[in-house]
Amino acid sequence: KSVDLHPTEPWMVASLYSGSVVVWNHETQVMVKTFEVCDLPVRVAKFVARKHWLIAGADDMQIRVFNYNTLERAHMFEAHSDYIRCIAVHPAQPYILTSSDDMLIKLWDWDRKWACSQVFEGHTHYVMQIVINPKDNNQFASASLDRTIKVWQLGSNTPNFTLEGHEKGVNCIDYYSGGDKPYLISGADDHLVKIWDYQNKTCVQTLEGHAQNVTCVSFHPELPIILTGSEDGTIRVWHSYTYRLENTLNYGMERAWCVCGQRGSNNVALGYDEGSIIIKLGREEPAMSMDSSGKIMWARHSEVQQANLKAMGEAEIKDGERLLLAVKDMGSCEIYPQMILHNPNGRFVVVCGDGEYIIYTAMALRNKSFGSAQEFVWAHDSSEYAIREGNSLVKIFKNFKEKKAFKPDFGAEGIYGGFLLGVKSPSGLAFYDWDNAELIRRIEIQPKHIFWSDSGELVCIATDECFFVLRYMAERVGAAQESKEAISEDGIEDAFEVLGEIQEVVKTGVWVGDCFIYTSSVNRLNYYVGGEIVTIAHLDRIMYLLGYIPKDNRLYLGDKELNIVSYSLLLSVLEYQTAVMRRDFSMADKVLPIIPKEHRTRVAHFLEKQGFRQQALAVSTDPEHRFELALQLGELNTAYQLALEAESEQKWKQLAELATAKCQFSLAQECLHQAQDYGGLLLLATASGNAAMVGKLAEGAERDGKTNVAFLTYFLQGKLDKCLDLLIKTNRLPEAAFLARTYLPSHVSRVVNLWKESLSKVNQRAADALADPTQYSNLFPGLQQALLAEQYLKETHVRVRPAAEYPLIMPNEDRSVLEECAGYAPKGEPVEPEVRTKRSHLNITGLSNKLLKMTL
Ligand SMILES: *[C@@H]1O[C@H](CO)[C@@H](O)[C@H](O)[C@H]1NC(C)=O
Ligand SMILES: *[C@@H]1O[C@H](CO)[C@@H](O)[C@H](O)[C@H]1NC(C)=O
Ligand SMILES: *[C@@H]1O[C@H](CO)[C@@H](O)[C@H](O)[C@H]1NC(C)=O
Ligand SMILES: *[C@@H]1O[C@H](CO)[C@@H](O)[C@H](O)[C@H]1NC(C)=O
332 lines ligand 4 (CB under 6 A): no
Cα dist. 304→289, 333, 356, 373 in Å? 11, 7, 16, 20
Q: Please name the residue whose Cα sits nearest to atom 2 of ligand 4.
A: 367
Q: Is the Cβ–Cβ distance between 365 and 337 less than 8 Å?
A: no
Q: What does the H/E/C string look like for 524-587?
A: EEEEEECCEEEEEEECCCCCEEEEEECCCCEEEEECCCCCEEEEECCHHHHHHHHHHHCCCHHH
Instruction: Provide the residue type at 734 as one letter.
Output: P
Angle between helices 623-633 and 597-609 (to 10 degrees): 30
Q: State the ligand closest to the CA atom of 233.
A: 3
358 lines ligand 4 (CB under 6 A): yes
168 lines ligand 3 (CB under 6 A): yes
Angle between helices 707-716 and 678-687 (to 10 degrees): 20
Residues with CB under 6 A from ligand 1: 153, 156, 160
- Has residue 519 got a pLDDT over 70? yes
State percent of the chain over pLDDT 90: 62
- Has residue 701 got a pLDDT over 50? yes
Stretch among 85-94, 112-121, 796-805 having the lowest mean pLDDT: 796-805
Considering only CA atoms, give the Rg of the chain.
45
204 lines ligand 2 (CB under 6 A): yes
The pLDDT of 135-148, averaged and rounded, is 96
The whole-angstrom separation of Cα 429 and Cα 412 is 9
Q: Please name the residue whose Cα sits nearest to atom 7 of ligand 1.
A: 153
Cα dist. 440→387, 392, 487, 590, 742 in Å? 19, 19, 9, 37, 96
Q: Is the Cβ–Cβ distance between 534 and 547 less than 8 Å?
A: no
The whole-angstrom separation of Cα 226 and Cα 259 is 11
Q: Please name the residue whose Cα sits nearest to atom 13 of ligand 3.
A: 231
Q: Is the Cβ–Cβ distance between 109 and 115 less than 8 Å?
A: yes
Provide the whole-model pTM.
0.60
180 lines ligand 2 (CB under 6 A): no
Bridge-based pairing state of the strands 303-308 and 327-332: antiparallel
Q: Please name the residue whose Cα sits nearest to atom 7 of ligand 2.
A: 204
- Has residue 20 got a pLDDT over 80? yes
Instruction: Provide the residue type at 824 as one letter.
Output: Y
Q: Please name the residue whose Cα sits nearest to atom 1 of ligand 1.
A: 160
Q: Of all helices (H) and strands (E), which one includes residue 154?
A: none
184-221 residue pLDDT tens: 999 999 999 999 999 999 999 999 999 999 999 999 98
All structural domains of the chain, each given as residue ranges with its CATH number in brackets, are 1-76 (2.40.10.480), 77-280 (2.130.10.10), 448-555 (no CATH)
Nearest ligand 3 atom, CA 145: 5
353 alpha carbon – ligand 2 mean position (Å): 27
Strand order through the sheet with 544-549: 544-549, 554-558, 564-568
| pLDDT reported for residue 856 | 31
Confidence of residue 836 (pLDDT cuts 50, 70, 90): very low
The whole-angstrom separation of Cα 116 and Cα 105 is 10
Q: Is the Cβ–Cβ distance between 570 and 582 less than 8 Å?
A: no
The whole-angstrom separation of Cα 613 and Cα 607 is 6
Average predicted confidence (pLDDT) for the chain: 89
Q: Is the Cβ–Cβ distance between 306 and 327 less than 8 Å?
A: yes
231 lines ligand 3 (CB under 6 A): yes
354 lines ligand 4 (CB under 6 A): no
Bridge-based pairing state of the strands 524-529 and 515-520: antiparallel
Nearest ligand 4 atom, CA 356: 13
344-383 residue pLDDT tens: 999 999 999 878 999 999 999 999 999 999 999 999 998 9
| pLDDT reported for residue 496 | 96
State percent of the chain over pLDDT 70: 96
The whole-angstrom separation of Cα 645 and Cα 409 is 70
137 alpha carbon – ligand 1 mean position (Å): 13
282-305 residue pLDDT tens: 777 889 999 999 999 999 877 899
The pLDDT of 414-425, averaged and rounded, is 96
Q: Please list, residue by residue across 515-540, b when 16 or more beta carbons sit within 10 angstroms of its beta carbon and e when fewer do.
A: bbbbbbeeebbbbbbbeeebebbebe
Task: Tell whether the torsion through CA atoms of 391, 392, 395 and 396 is positive or negative.
Answer: positive
Output the DSSP codes for 672-723.
HHHTT-HHHHHHHHHHTT-HHHHHHHHHHHHHTT-HHHHHHHHHHTT-HHHH
Nearest to 691 by CA among 588, 845, 804: 804
329 alpha carbon – ligand 4 mean position (Å): 18
The pLDDT of 691-704, averaged and rounded, is 87
190 lines ligand 3 (CB under 6 A): no
| pLDDT reported for residue 848 | 38
Nearest ligand 1 atom, CA 152: 1
| pLDDT reported for residue 846 | 32
The pLDDT of 153-166, averaged and rounded, is 95
189 alpha carbon – ligand 3 mean position (Å): 7
- Say which residues have a Cβ less than 8 Å from residue 595's Cβ, sequence separation at least 6: 570, 572, 573, 576, 603
Nearest ligand 2 atom, CA 182: 5
| pLDDT reported for residue 798 | 67
- Has residue 816 got a pLDDT over 70? yes
212 lines ligand 3 (CB under 6 A): yes
Q: Please name the residue whose Cα sits nearest to atom 9 of ligand 4.
A: 334
Q: Of all helices (H) and strands (E), which one includes residue 58?
A: strand 53-58
Q: Is the Cβ–Cβ distance between 655 and 631 less than 8 Å?
A: yes
Q: Please name the residue whose Cα sits nearest to atom 7 of ligand 3.
A: 189
| pLDDT reported for residue 843 | 32
- Has residue 314 got a pLDDT over 80? no
549-603 residue pLDDT tens: 988 889 999 998 889 999 988 888 888 888 887 788 898 889 888 888 888 888 8
717-742 residue pLDDT tens: 888 899 999 999 999 999 999 999 88
223 alpha carbon – ligand 1 mean position (Å): 30
3-state secondary structure of 184: strand
The pLDDT of 820-827, averaged and rounded, is 76
- Has residue 395 got a pLDDT over 90? yes
192 alpha carbon – ligand 3 mean position (Å): 13
333 alpha carbon – ligand 4 mean position (Å): 10
Nearest to 14 by CA among 42, 40, 39, 38: 42
Hey, which of 197, 199, 205, 243 would you mutate to test ligand 2's pocket, going by the most ligand atoms within 8 Å of its Cβ? 197
